[in-house]
Amino acid sequence: MLKSEEIVKRIEKLQLLMLQTPPAYTCEWEVIAVEKIKELFEMGLLSGGKHMKFLNSLYKDYKYRKDFDGVIGEDALDYRKMDLLFSEDKQDELMYRLRYKYLTDSEIKLLDNTKLKIKELKEKLKDLSIEFDYDTDIMRIRISKKPGDLVMVENPFDDNHSFPAVITEARVETAKQHRKSSTVMETIASRCMIEWHKQDDPSVTGSSTITEYDINTNGTLSAESVSN
C-alpha cells in the first residue's frame, strides 16, 4: 500500500502533466479537484481507494490530451464544455451556445444531458469529500479562461455595440487566501489577462482583462487595445 508521501509525489506528476497539456484542452475544475485531493493526502486524511481511481483516470486522460496540437476548434470546445458550463450560470451557457453555433453552424436545442452530467459530477466529487465554493472555486473556474473560450467585448468606437471574441491567449493571476473558517490556504483567481480576435473577423484583434466584477455583472469586457 502506498504511503501518503508517495501518493503526493504521484499527484505532483499529474499536476505537471496538466501544465504540459495545451490550455485549450485543460479544465480548471479538474485542476482544482486535484489540488483538493492532494491537500487531503498531505493532511493524512486519505489512504487511497476511490480517490486513487479518480486520479488514475485523470492521469490517463491527460496523457492523451498532452499530445494534442492546441488548435482551438470544435474538438477543444468539446473538452472545455464541462468547465464552461460547470457554474450552471445562464451567461456562461449563452457563451457556450454562441461558440458552438459558430463552429458547427447549428443550434444546440438542449443541454439537458450535459447539465445532468455536471450535477452527477458534483455529486461524485462530493462523495470524494470535494466541494466547490461559489465565491472561490466557481469564481476561479469562471475567471480562468482558456484559448478558444468566448467572451463579449465592447466596441471601443461604439458604446452601444459589443461583439463575441475568441480568446487566443490567457494568463491568470492567482493569489492565496485563508479558506472560510479555516487556517488552510487556498488559491483564488484574481484576474485573467486575455488576447482575443473577433469571432467572425479574425483580423480584428485586441486584449482585455477579466475580473470578479466582470463575472458578477455578466459584464461586457472593455477592449484595452484593438488592431484593425
pLDDT in tens, 109-140: 778 889 999 999 999 999 999 999 999 999 99
110 assigned to some structural domain: yes
Nearest 5°: the CA angle 70, 125, 76 is 15
C-alpha cell at 180: 472560510
Statement: residue 183 has pLDDT above 70: no
The pLDDT value given to residue 102: 96
Q: Which domain holds residue 209?
A: 69-227
Residue with cell 452527477: 120
86 assigned to some structural domain: yes
The DSSP 8-state label assigned to residue 24 in this structure reads G
131 assigned to some structural domain: yes
CA–CA dist 195, 53 (Å, integer):
37
C-alpha cell at 225: 487595445
18 assigned to some structural domain: no
CA distances from 44 to 37, 50, 167 (A): 11, 15, 40
The pLDDT value given to residue 67: 93
The domain total for the chain is 1
Statement: residue 180 has pLDDT above 80: no
172 assigned to some structural domain: yes
214 assigned to some structural domain: yes
100 assigned to some structural domain: yes
Q: Among residues 101, 117, 121, which one has the least CA distance to residue 109?
A: 101
Average pLDDT of 171-180?
83
Average pLDDT of 168-188?
81
10 assigned to some structural domain: no
The pLDDT value given to residue 179: 75
Q: What is the CA radius of gyration of the chain?
A: 18
> What is the phi-psi region of residue 181: left when phi exceeds 0, alpha when psi lies from -120 to 50, beta otherwise?
left
Statement: residue 158 has pLDDT above 80: no
Average pLDDT of 83-108?
94
Alpha helices in the chain (DSSP H): 4-20, 28-42, 50-65, 74-85, 90-104, 112-127, 139-143, 212-216
Instruction: Flag the least confident range among 85-94, 130-139, 172-181, 197-206.
Output: 172-181
CA–CA dist 116, 111 (Å, integer):
9
Tens of pLDDT, residue by residue over 12-32, are 999 999 999 999 999 999 999
Alpha carbon 85 to chain centroid, angstroms: 9
The pLDDT value given to residue 151: 97
Residue 4 CB burial class (10 angstroms; 0-12, 13-18, ≥19): middle
| pLDDT band (50, 70, 90) for residue 4 | confident
The pLDDT value given to residue 206: 95
Neighbouring residues of 26: CB distance < 8 A, sequence distance ≥ 6: 18, 65, 146
